[in-house]
A and B are shown apart, each in its own frame.
Chain A
Amino acid sequence: MTKSPVLILGARSDIGLAVAHAFASQGHPVQLAARRADTLGAEKTDLELRHGVPVSLHDFDALALENHEGFADALPELPGIAVCAVGYMGDQAESERTPLQAAQVLRSNFEGPASILAVLANRFEQRGSGTLVGISSVAGERGRASNYVYGAAKAGFTAFLSGLRNRLARKGVHVVTVLPGFVATQMTEGMDLPAKLTAQPEEVANAIAAAASKGRNVVYVRPVWQLIMLIIRNIPEAIFKKTSI
């Protein structure tokens, strides 16, 4: 039986690439979508050599909303699974100073990902099958001074995924929300992250592949994050506003 293709949006990211390897190792053909996709030739060859699956490259700009329908039309085959690993942390201080920078963070983490998943959702709904995976963030669970612009965008994305899941639950389309916690990627390089709370991209990728096949709804990659966020969500606002966490 040939497996359905998996589309990776934001395929250049460490998590996106790891997800591509995880699905390719199960025998899924892979569609890598990113800006300047032609520069992903080495990644394509590596995936094909290691896993013996076909890999195709597709130009994709999460912020060019007007092209999203056309992007989906141009795919050689509508994928069975689409994983959105698009994200941009930005610099919180710069987001505070510059509204355009804040808008860029909001658009990259919410508007763009929501737009492309909406386009794919309609097609999956029409087909009556498929899995959409959105990589959101625990930062969206409660706004904190250190990264609330990024957090606000991820909160929006988490709510969007939740609504999409609700809408499509009886249409044969499954939606997975992934909340990775800290991950050792290019985005967090140079940050001093606690090892026990920090996942490797491969760990996130394996959790996503497992969630897609088991039909899980919301996935914390390391279970400890579920507890941490439970506590953070429940700190009374009067106290929370004075903390720096």
Chain B
Amino acid sequence: MTMLSGWGNYPVARAQLLAPRNETELQILIAGNSSVIARGNGRAYGDSAIGLPATLHMRHFNRMISFDAETGQLVAESGVLLGDIISAFLPRGWFPAVVPGTKFVTLGGAIAADVHGKNHHKEGSFRNCLDWVDVMGPDGTLRRCSAQENSDLFGWTAGGMGLTGIIVKAAIRLRAVPSAWIRQQTLPAANLDAAIEIFERSASATYSVAWIDCLSEGNTLGRSLVMLGEHADSRDLSAQQAATPYAIASAKTRQVPPVFPSFLLNRFSVRAFNSAYYWAGARKAGLLITDWNRYFFPLDALLGWNRIYGRKGFAQFQCVLPLDSARSGLRRLLQAISAAGQGSFLAVLKRLGPQDSPFSFPMEGYTLALDFPVNRRSLALMEELDRITIAHGGRFYLAKDSRMHADTLRAADPRAAGFTGMRQSSGLHPSFQSAQSQRLSL
């Protein structure tokens, strides 16, 4: 038995962690346990990848199988990290078409959570670059599913949080990029309305995301730094960069000490940090050429950053609000957060594009994500944020969730009942369960 938790170190559960080495071992473990769930690199924040009693660690399914340089299609086993794909293919001019905020997620995890990136408003979520996926069912049979073949299973699997079976391998499309550099434009927004206006007029930008100060109030409520990005081509690069456009010096990483004194994290330090960050960003606003690692994965440079929240761990709140109620809903959310004085260093605001899929998180509107150290007050605040989200027609990102109630999910997302119904009628329910699916009655 092993103590398992997600990236937020909350909750922690005792589970049996098994690491099958091939499909036969995988079949035996599915048949031999009352229920299982697959675990990739453990980057879901809560209990999505904790299976009680048994969790299947997919680290041995980590081989790349084929690459087609005509179409950019990569076939790989599900335990391969997106970071490994970037290391292998960016030097050859290819980059995953959709990446989340960390490169330390597995391919299987990216599919299960149907992750989205800074280009969601244009390119959609991870499923849009997914050609097919091989899923092992309760009977140990491997089923290939795609938009054409087993299309129902395909639809539910992307965003299905591993609850439709074990994702064993998949084919994804990489995009050809002109360099490893990003032309980044930082636009300061004095408040929420200004940030939304920038997003709305930047629909043609390939990438967009905003850091938002979740503790500012009054006229500056929701002040943000909106960061737009384009893949830089030779005209944007210095002669030295253009000579080897895909070469980037390996990123410097720092390690957070194993035990970070969590008293350093309080409303005063967070408020001061947010204020300083905004003004520093606003002063440096404008164009800059930055490398892919810094633009897409700024937090990856700080290994183990989850530890700054201390032993009790942290929870991330992420919701999306539909376009027509986004402005009023975001204002209510930010007011509640600011009034409680419980902001985080990194709150993220992002415009999402239209999406219609069976159980994935994104919908057209605005998504807000921020972290809270786990304590009684923050848990109460997050329940208030849940209520505001539901009142504005929004829903929640299960890859980030660690504490929601089943009723909250049902109230926010009418698709949940259909998902559970599908799991029961197709015999998936008894075999594939996570601590999260049990908590949320999925």
Contacts and interface: CB of A to CB of B under 8 A. Distances in A.
Interface residues of B, number: 12
Contact of B63 (A46, A51, A186): A46
Given A50-B84, A51-B88, A186 B21 contact: yes
Nearest to B92: A52
Interface string B71-92: 0000000000000100110011
B84 A49 contact: no
B270 to A, nearest CB: 32
Contact of B67 (A49, A51, A189): A49
Contacts of A49: 64-67, 88
B63 A43 contact: yes
Contacts of A42: 63, 65
B19 interface: yes
Contacts of B21: 186
Contact of A45 (B64, B87, B88, B92): B64
Interface string A51-84: 1100000000000000000000000000000000
A189 B57 CA distance: 13
B172 to A, nearest CB: 14
| Consensus secondary structure, chain B interface | mixed
Nearest to A25: B87
A15 B111 CA distance: 29
Contacts of A186: 21
B88 A50 contact: yes
Contact of A50 (B19, B64, B66): B64
B208 to A, nearest CB: 31
B19 A45 contact: no
A50 B63 CA distance: 9
A191 to B, nearest CB: 13
A239 B419 CA distance: 64
Interface residues of A, number: 10
B277 to A, nearest CB: 35
Interface string B3-37: 00000000000000001010000000000000000
B65 A45 contact: yes
A49 B92 CA distance: 11
Contacts of A46: 63-65
Contacts of B92: 52
Interface in A184-204: 186, 189
Contacts of B84: 50
A49 B68 CA distance: 11
Contacts of A52: 88, 91-92
A57 to B, nearest CB: 15
Contacts of B67: 49
A14 to B, nearest CB: 9
A52 B67 CA distance: 12
A43 B91 CA distance: 21
Nearest to B85: A50
A42 B75 CA distance: 12
A189 B63 contact: no
* Most-contacted residue by chain B among A43, A45, A46, A52 (CB, 10 A): A46
A30 B414 CA distance: 54
A45 B62 CA distance: 12
A50 to B, nearest CB: 4
A43 B64 CA distance: 9
Contacts of B91: 52
A42 B64 CA distance: 8
Nearest to B74: A49
Most buried by B among A45, A50, A51, A52: A50
Nearest to A46: B63
A176 B66 CA distance: 35
Contacts of A45: 63-66
B57 to A, nearest CB: 11
A230 to B, nearest CB: 26
A18 to B, nearest CB: 11
Nearest to B88: A50
A46 B77 CA distance: 10
A138 B63 CA distance: 31
A50 B19 CA distance: 23
B87 A50 contact: yes
A46 B64 CA distance: 5
A51 B64 CA distance: 11
B303 to A, nearest CB: 15
B28 to A, nearest CB: 15
A221 B65 CA distance: 31
A46 B87 CA distance: 13
Contacts of B88: 49-52
Interface in A165-190: 186, 189
A22 to B, nearest CB: 13
A128 B64 CA distance: 38
A111 to B, nearest CB: 28
Nearest to B64: A49
A139 B370 CA distance: 49
A49 B84 CA distance: 11
Interface in B43-80: 63-67
Contacts of B65: 42, 45-46, 49
A166 to B, nearest CB: 38
B48 to A, nearest CB: 23
Given A42-B63, A49-B65, A51-B88, 17 more contacts: A42-B65, A45-B64, A45-B65, A45-B66, A46-B63, A46-B64, A49-B64, A49-B66, A49-B67, A49-B88, A50-B64, A50-B84, A50-B87, A50-B88, A52-B88, A186-B21, A189-B19
Interface of A: 42-43, 45-46, 49-52, 186, 189
24 contacts: A42-B63, A42-B65, A43-B63, A45-B64, A45-B65, A45-B66, A46-B63, A46-B64, A46-B65, A49-B64, A49-B65, A49-B66, A49-B67, A49-B88, A50-B64, A50-B84, A50-B87, A50-B88, A51-B88, A52-B88, A52-B91, A52-B92, A186-B21, A189-B19
Closest 6 pairs between A and B when the two form their complex, measured CB to CB: A46-B63, A49-B64, A50-B88, A46-B64, A42-B63, A49-B67
